[in-house]
Amino acid sequence: MSLAESIEKRAQEFSDRYRKVHEQIARVIVGHDDIVHGVLTCLFVGGHCLLEGVPGLGKTLLVRTLSETLDLNFSRIQFTPDLMPADILGTNMIVEDPDGRRRFEFQRGPVFTQICLADEINRATPKTQSAMLEAMQEKSVTAGGNHYKLDAPFFVMATQNPLEQEGTYPLPEAQLDRFFFKLVVGYSNRADLNKILERTTKGEEIRPEKVMDGSEIVQWQQLVREVILAPHVQDYICRLILSTHPEGEFAQPVTNQFLRWGSSPRGAQTVALAAKVRALLGGRYNVSFDDIRRVFVPALRHRVILNFEAEAESVNPDDVLLELLQKVPEKADDIAAA
């Protein structure tokens, strides 16, 4: 078998296994195909996902279904205003040995898992939200002067209600940046809503099958990183990221008008990795410009900060990012002519 044939075979195997997981989720989740693809993209690159939407749209059900499809440890943390960091990470407790001696022993919190559902994360205070930072970025927890590694793969999926609702706390920018994608869950259409009623009001119970374990997920995460990113395609990602920086070399008029801060380098890493997943799903071992365009908005919508003018004119991050995709040319040679 030639190298090209081997590469094509590995890409096809990834695509087949990815779709197996997707099919099991689709047995329970009706519609929201883009959201499911976004969640699975996060999973197969080792990133975390933030789902935003009003209550009742199936965000929590999606996470539960994913956990039932994968042979991984699962825990759920319900974020509330009185939740404390120790409730998430764990704490040192006094335990008594059989011989009567007492000692401190670390009792692990619910973050010590592989799939962690942080339900309604913006209901908790910023102090408690920040307890997730080290776990999300370093895949580890420091408590009581000791360092604990989390099992791989480790995946956080957080849900939140829209920030304008009462009783919520906006997530700190540092924590938002740790999420690979921010996915906005919308309402179901007429056909999907009819199907939801058919499935949920007639006593039927559909359970997904487990189709993948942790070792296989880690294997596919490594394959994603091996996908080729050509220099001219990589440069397109860099110019897109730089176009979000107000008054920068590649800033567009819409950037200077509506953005206060642009994306960090983590945004470029996110776009590159997500585009590699899209390439593999297309049976390719190299990233295309179209792959980048398809992942740009969910990768950046939570990494750019709007200014007062944008808020006054009801401009949202998606509007700005979609215009940047239109304005920034694919090839660097086109910059002068653009």
pLDDT at 2: 59
Per residue in 136-175, pLDDT tens?
Answer: 888 888 877 778 888 888 989 998 877 656 667 888 888 8
pLDDT at 180: 92
End-to-end CA distance of the chain: 45
Residues of the chain with pLDDT under 70: 1-5, 163-167, 203, 333-338
User: Judging by beta carbons within 10 Å of its beta carbon (0-12, 13-18, 19+), is residue 103 exposed, middle or buried?
Assistant: exposed
Nearest to 157 by CA among 25, 17, 61: 61
CB 242 within 8 A of CB 249: yes
Which token pair is 279? 């390439």
CA atoms of 319 and 77, how far apart (whole Å) = 33
Which token pair is 312? 């006054």
CA atoms of 37 and 57, how far apart (whole Å) = 16
pLDDT at 197: 81
Q: At what angle do helices 3-26 and 33-45 cross, to 10 degrees?
A: 130
CA atoms of 36 and 178, how far apart (whole Å) = 20
Q: At what angle do helices 265-281 and 33-45 cross, to 10 degrees?
A: 110
What is the sign, positive or negative, of the torsion defined by CA atoms of 124, 56, 41, 232? negative
What is the sign, positive or negative, of the torsion defined by CA atoms of 86, 88, 89, 91? positive
Q: Could you tell me the pTM of the whole model?
A: 0.86
CB 220 within 8 A of CB 268: no
CA atoms of 156 and 174, how far apart (whole Å) = 16
**Phi-psi category of 46—alpha, beta or left, where left has phi over 0 and alpha has psi -120 to 50?**
left
Would you give the DSSP letter of residue 286?
B
pLDDT at 163: 63
Amino acid at residue number 170? P
**Please, what's the largest Cα pairwise distance for the chain?**
81
Query: What domains sit in the chain, N to C, each tagged with a CATH number?
Result: 1-81+112-209 (3.40.50.300), 227-332 (1.10.8.80)
CA atoms of 185 and 59, how far apart (whole Å) = 8
CA atoms of 159 and 70, how far apart (whole Å) = 19
